[in-house]
């Protein structure tokens, strides 16, 4: 497999301009990540109150559980950004993947310093998404529970629907039945529906003095029965460990609880991260031949100026080696085989618009990867499928549908990174969220929408003007309409708008992409080989 030659000149003015622009984007990303960790309006008082009770901050709790010095892949850190009056950093919940005794686990941990740990609609969505990732990747789940339960003013967005709070209990019970351990440490309130998180767990640890579980708290008991009772007497750790049996282990402190949790983890029959099953091709990893930080200078500061996807691939894959598939046909789609942290992957990357030839090339390549049991990596940067009379006559709808069907039916693990634009049906054909990639990450320059703001101005303004036939419109009114449409699309396609709503699993610095993908591939390698389907039938 040959190394990719790079045509990038790091000393050029264009490279320097792009790099400066991208460093600003990454600086903004880091600032907003820090806000999610320790910011938010009026949160200082909540943090002080939390610490005054002898409690540990949520990310420090995770650090005390995972293997010392091991990485933690946090997911959707900026969920809730720009929503709920900016008073719910991270959606009040931290999710991610960490190792305990070398075994990867999904962590779902409430942040009680955000609205007392109350669950907002985005909290539930993030909780359910973490469970979905755990199920797909064969991970046990550790719940660090410190929650005030559902945020009642928004109960209609939390309680009744399929993927609302009840869906999380459904998934928890199903994963336990699949042999994926569900372990809980109760570090605060578990009220009403929240009580079912520990109650549905395989094993439960409660911390004396701070952990409480009750279907109805003291105010409800007083209202319903006229009974006045202390919270610990109603549902404290001692009661539930020694009397009700809801809890299995009593811990005198948080640190003791985490030691006991690590001990319980050793008793579960879960595969370690290094326990590869042999179905995925693996070789000793090596770093790329080119510095991944050069990506900053490759991605165009002006998103109307394209950049070569092969230059990105060269800075992500082992040894920058890449075996291209059909390199001289359908050139707006780059396909080929490479390795990331030693694991073989089939890469599909956009070099712009997807033409009929590009769609057919991608379809053929996806079928090869499915046949050879090679995981798929999609690097999205496209304005979508080609339109126009010639394209329609050439069967772009039919050929695009073949590509979409191939993506939908591929049984090998799929991963997606938004490295640029993700517009229209191109999002679907390149394995967007709706096509169930195991993980979907985005870069801070990415954009996602039905079309670009520039295109939307033309399309939507023309449609609105057509609906106003017979009415005179001035140039100023048309300009105002264009500005309104442009602003709406710019806002809705912004990567922070997307990540706030969990349209991805997190915005990441391009430099960290290779490491994140390496962990994701290692998770798949420790599972049994997925069974292929019976095959596709194309509508020719």
Question: What tens digit of pLDDT does each residue of 495-524 get?
Answer: 999 999 999 999 999 999 999 999 999 999
Provide, rounded to the nearest whole percent, the portion of the chain with pLDDT above 90. Answer: 78
What is the band of 540 on the pLDDT scale with cuts at 50, 70, 90? Answer: very low
Both structure tokens of 11: 């000393």
Tell me what the mean pLDDT of segment 285-297 comes to: 98
Q: How far apart are CA 128 and CA 244, in angstroms?
A: 28
Determine the pLDDT at residue 470. Answer: 63
Q: Which helix (H) or strand (E) holds 323?
A: strand 323-325
359: pLDDT strictly greater than 60: yes
Q: How far apart are CA 421 and CA 510, in angstroms?
A: 15
Among residues 420, 423, 375, the alpha carbon closest in space to that of 520 is found at 375
For the chain, how long is the longest CA-to-CA vector?
79
DSSP 64: H
CB-CB neighbours of 160 under 10 Å: 10
What is the band of 356 on the pLDDT scale with cuts at 50, 70, 90? Answer: very high
Phi-psi region of 341 (alpha: psi -120 to 50; beta: other; left: phi over 0): left
- Contact between 81 and 36 under an 8 Å Cβ cutoff? The reply is yes
Question: What tens digit of pLDDT does each residue of 203-245 get?
Answer: 999 999 999 999 888 888 888 889 999 999 999 999 999 999 9
152: pLDDT strictly greater than 90: no
Both structure tokens of 155: 């109960």
480: pLDDT strictly greater than 80: yes
310: pLDDT strictly greater than 50: yes
539: pLDDT strictly greater than 60: no
pTM of the model: 0.94
DSSP 139: -
Both structure tokens of 488: 């709406």
538: pLDDT strictly greater than 60: no
Q: How far apart are CA 187 and CA 237, in angstroms?
A: 10
Determine the pLDDT at residue 459. Answer: 78
Provide, rounded to the nearest whole percent, the portion of the chain with pLDDT above 70. Answer: 98
193: pLDDT strictly greater than 80: no
Q: How far apart are CA 72 and CA 106, in angstroms?
A: 10
Determine the pLDDT at residue 12. Answer: 97
CB-CB neighbours of 284 under 10 Å: 8
Tell me what the mean pLDDT of segment 275-301 comes to: 96
């Amino acid at each position: 497999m040959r190394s990719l030659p790079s045509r990038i000149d790091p000393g050029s003015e264009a490279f320097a301009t792009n790099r400066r622009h991208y460093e600003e984007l990454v600086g903004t990303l880091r600032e907003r990540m820090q806000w999610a960790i320790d910011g938010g309006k009026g949160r200082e008082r909540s943090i002080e109150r939390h610490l005054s009770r002898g409690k540990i901050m949520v990310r420090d709790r995770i650090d005390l559980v995972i293997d010392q010095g091991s990485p933690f892949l946090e997911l959707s850190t900026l969920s809730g950004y720009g929503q709920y009056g900016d008073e719910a950093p991270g959606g009040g919940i931290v999710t991610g993947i960490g190792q305990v005794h070398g075994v990867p686990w999904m962590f779902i941990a409430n942040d009680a310093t955000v609205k007392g740990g109350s669950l907002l609609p985005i909290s539930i969505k993030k909780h359910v998404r973490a469970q979905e990732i755990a199920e797909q990747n064969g991970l046990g789940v550790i719940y660090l529970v410190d929650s005030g339960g559902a945020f009642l003013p928004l109960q209609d967005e939390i309680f009744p629907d399929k993927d609302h709070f009840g869906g999380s209990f459904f998934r928890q019970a199903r994963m336990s039945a699949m042999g994926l351990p569900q372990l809980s440490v109760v570090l605060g309130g578990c009220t009403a529906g929240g009580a079912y998180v520990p109650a549905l767990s395989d094993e439960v640890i409660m911390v004396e003095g701070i952990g409480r579980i009750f279907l109805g708290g003291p105010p409800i008991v007083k209202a319903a029965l006229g009974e006045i009772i202390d919270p610990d007497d109603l549902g404290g750790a001692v009661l539930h460990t020694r009397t009700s049996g809801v809890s299995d282990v009593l811990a005198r402190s948080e640190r003791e609880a985490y030691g006991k949790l690590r001990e319980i983890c050793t008793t579960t029959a879960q595969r370690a991260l290094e326990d590869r099953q042999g179905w995925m091709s693996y070789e000793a990893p090596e770093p790329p031949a080119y510095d991944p930080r050069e990506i900053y200078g490759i991605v165009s500061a002006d998103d109307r100026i394209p950049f070569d996807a092969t230059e990105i691939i060269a800075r992500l894959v082992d040894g920058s080696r890449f075996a291209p598939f059909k390199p001289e046909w359908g050139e707006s789609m780059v396909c080929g085989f490479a390795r990331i942290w030693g694991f073989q992957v089939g890469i599909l990357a956009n070099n712009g618009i997807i033409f009929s030839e590009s769609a057919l090339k991608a379809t053929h390549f996806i079928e090869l990867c499915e046949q050879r049991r090679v995981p798929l990596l999609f690097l999205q940067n496209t304005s979508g499928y080609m339109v126009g009379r010639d394209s329609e006559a050439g069967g772009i709808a039919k050929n695009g549908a073949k590509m979409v069907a191939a993506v939908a039916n591929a049984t090998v693990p799929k991963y997606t990174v938004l490295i640029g634009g993700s517009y229209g049906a191109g999002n679907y054909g390149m394995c967007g969220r709706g096509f169930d990639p195991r993980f979907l990450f985005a870069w801070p320059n990415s954009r996602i929408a039905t079309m670009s703001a520039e295109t939307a101005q033309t399309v939507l303004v023309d449609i609105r003007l057509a609906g106003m036939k017979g009415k005179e419109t001035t140039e100023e009114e048309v300009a105002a309409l264009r500005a309104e449409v442009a602003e709406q699309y710019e806002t809705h396609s912004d990567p922070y708008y997307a990540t706030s709503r969990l349209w991805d699993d997190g915005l990441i610095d391009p430099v960290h992409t290779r490491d994140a993908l390496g962990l994701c591939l290692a998770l798949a390698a420790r599972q049994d080989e997925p069974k292929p389907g019976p095959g596709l039938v194309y509508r020719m």
